[in-house]
């Protein structure tokens, strides 16, 4: 059965615990979390205030747990029940809300908000509305970080090859230029290195299939045949040493809310 994380309009919903297991396998072979956490530590250190952290779609809460000690209060919005179970184990002191993001009322003014690898599961036409909704919960002078894989990295090139999907935060940044005054101030785009390394073909194919379950824009979402994925992995990710490497650089869109006048 294909792993699928789907989303109704403006929300997130994980249909299977298998999705969480596949995510764990991917992250176990990737340096993504280490690189991301180092980047976030620098961001947090530069914040003028650290009263509240808001994490929208935190999954199992690995990054939330890393950041929460720097803040007085942590609030999470996570509509996926399997993810909420893991999140509560990792972040027992966080307030956890089950609502879709466009329906949530977190009751917090955040100095830092995260929207990390969530927009894959939100229809493209709702990206701007989703980000502006989150910005309403960001304190004046606070920061929202939106993370997605870079659209031109090797992993996303594979996704585009099989599904036609392209997810580009650069397009979102251009749309935010027309946001209401007082909600969106400075916008900048950073790119962070990330790399998955595996020793076995079967595990690397599983990681590839995990990424190929990003919802396609057209069609019925039927996953590609496993032998086609296996062939792609051999041709594009096999190293001279006999292992497998999938570069998957991340983009980080930094959106600052203007200071109150």
pTM of the model: 0.89
Per-residue pLDDT at 230 exceeds 60: yes
Binned at pLDDT 50, 70 and 90, residue 18 comes out as: low
Query: From its phi and psi, is residue 124 left (phi > 0), alpha (psi between -120 and 50) or beta?
Result: alpha
Mean pLDDT of 68-77: 97
Q: What is the mean pLDDT of the chain?
A: 89
Per-residue pLDDT at 66 exceeds 80: yes
Q: Which pLDDT tens digit goes with each residue over 156-185?
A: 999 999 988 899 999 999 999 888 888 999
Going by C-alpha positions, the residue among 75, 63, 171 that lies closest to residue 117 is: 63
| CB neighbourhood size of 9 (10 A) | 13
Q: Which pLDDT tens digit goes with each residue over 100-131?
A: 888 999 999 999 999 999 999 898 999 999 99
Letter string b/e over residues 76-101, b meaning 16 or more CB atoms within 10 A of that residue's CB: bbbbbebbbebbbebbeebebbeebb
User: Could you tell me the two tokens for 65?
Assistant: 């747990």
């Amino acid at each position: 059965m294909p792993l699928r994380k789907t989303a109704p309009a403006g929300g997130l919903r994980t249909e299977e615990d298998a999705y969480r297991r596949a995510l764990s396998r991917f992250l176990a072979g990737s340096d993504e979390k280490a690189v991301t956490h180092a980047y976030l530590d620098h961001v947090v250190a530069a914040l003028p205030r650290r009263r509240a952290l808001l994490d929208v779609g935190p999954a199992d809460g690995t990054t939330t747990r890393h950041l929460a000690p720097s803040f007085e209060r942590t609030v999470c919005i996570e509509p996926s029940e399997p993810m909420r179970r893991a999140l509560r184990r990792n972040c027992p002191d966080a307030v956890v809300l089950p609502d879709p993001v466009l329906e949530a009322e977190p009751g917090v003014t955040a100095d830092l908000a995260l929207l990390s690898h969530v927009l894959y599961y939100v229809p493209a036409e709702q990206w701007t509305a989703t980000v502006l909704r989150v910005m309403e919960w960001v304190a004046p002078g606070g920061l929202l970080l939106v993370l997605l894989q870079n659209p031109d990295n090797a992993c996303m090139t594979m996704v585009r090859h099989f599904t036609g999907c392209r997810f580009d935060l650069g397009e979102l940044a251009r749309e935010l230029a027309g946001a209401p005054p007082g909600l969106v101030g400075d916008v900048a785009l950073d790119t962070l290195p990330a790399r998955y390394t595996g020793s076995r073909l079967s595990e690397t194919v599983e990681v590839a299939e995990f990424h190929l379950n990003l919802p396609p824009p057209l069609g019925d979402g039927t996953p590609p045949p496993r032998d086609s994925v296996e062939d792609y992995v051999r041709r594009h990710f096999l190293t001279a040493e006999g292992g497998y490497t999938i570069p998957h650089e991340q983009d980080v869109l930094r959106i600052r809310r203007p200071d109150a006048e």
